[in-house]
Amino acid sequence: MNKISWLPMLFALAACHATGATGATRAPLEPRATTLQCADRKIEIQAQCFQEEGMRTLSCTSQRLTISAAAPLATRVFKPLPAEEGQDYPVVEEKIGDIVCTATPDRQQYIVTRVSNGGNCARCEWADVYGWNGALLGSSRDKAQSPAVRAAIAAAFDAKSARIGAADATPLYAGRARRGH
């Protein structure tokens, strides 16, 4: 064969390799979303998730939290960690659990999310605090927490506090039932 007839075969091989047609199949991505309405605020989580081998919950390769009033006020995009050898996709470490809209005793309104990275340690679960305007104000993981962040976290998880709304976002990460369990 001459050199020119090899070019189409080389392009075909390169295309197969680039699209994953080498025999390995990636887990399909599933669009996932959940929404909470708190008075005039809408809190929405949108993600692209997949069933990772050996995991009971879905892993997400992208995740976005949006706080809106009549229009979007703020959006937080969670960045995935770099993909490790053998992973289908890079994975976002954070999983949002509870979403709580609350008012402190001085009537300041906040949105608090309980977040986890799946571990079982003091630094593996935390709370992120957003102002009513959607701005991220701080986290329980911050060494120096502002009085507003401390007050918002206390109000969000105190049964006696005024809750404007609350939701459990963990069903967003619910995986498929595994056989034999």
The structure tokens listed for 8 are 């189409």
Mean pLDDT of 107-126: 89
- Category of 39 on φ-ψ map: left (φ > 0), alpha (ψ -120 to 50) or beta: left
pLDDT at 69: 96
pLDDT at 150 over 70: yes
The better pLDDT of the pair 140, 20 is held by 140
User: pLDDT band at 87, cuts 50/70/90?
Assistant: confident
Mean pLDDT of 152-165: 92
Q: Which residue has the tokens 């006696």?
A: 160
CB neighbour burial string for 11-29, b if at least 16 within 10 angstroms, e if fewer? eeeeeeeeeeeeeeeebeb
pLDDT at 86: 85
Starting from the edge strand earliest in sequence, which strands make up the sheet with 41-50, in order? Answer: 30-38, 41-50, 59-68, 72-78
Alpha helices by DSSP H, the chain: 3-18, 147-156
Q: What is the pTM (predicted TM-score) of this model?
A: 0.82
pLDDT at 1 over 70: no
pLDDT at 169 over 50: yes
pLDDT at 9 over 50: no
pLDDT at 177: 53
Using the 8-state DSSP alphabet, how is residue 57 labeled? B
For the chain, give the mean pLDDT.
Answer: 86
The better pLDDT of the pair 65, 2 is held by 65
The better pLDDT of the pair 11, 59 is held by 59
The better pLDDT of the pair 18, 111 is held by 111
pLDDT at 16 over 50: no
Neighbours of 69 (CB within 10 A): 13
The better pLDDT of the pair 6, 68 is held by 68
Domain regions of the chain by residue span: 26-173
pLDDT at 11: 40
Strands (E), the chain: 30-38, 41-50, 59-68, 72-78, 95-103, 109-116, 125-131, 136-139, 162-168
